[in-house]
Amino acid sequence: MARRDFDPARVQPDGRPATKAPLFDPAAEGPWRGSLNGAVLGGQNTVLAYGTDVVGAGPRLHVHPYDETFIIIEGRARFLVGAATLEASAGEVVFGPAGVPHRFENLGPGRLQTIDIHHSPEWIQTDLDAD
pLDDT in tens, 59-112: 999 999 999 999 999 999 999 999 999 999 999 999 999 999 999 999 999 999
What domain range includes position 95? 30-127
pLDDT band at 131; cut points 50, 70, 90: low
- Model's pTM, two decimal places? 0.91
Domain-embedded: residue 20: no
Domain-embedded: residue 56: yes
In order, the DSSP letters of 73-123 are EESEEEEEETTEEEEEETT-EEEE-TT--EEEEE-SSS-EEEEEEESSSS-
User: What's the residue count for the chain?
Assistant: 131
User: How many domains is the chain built from?
Assistant: 1
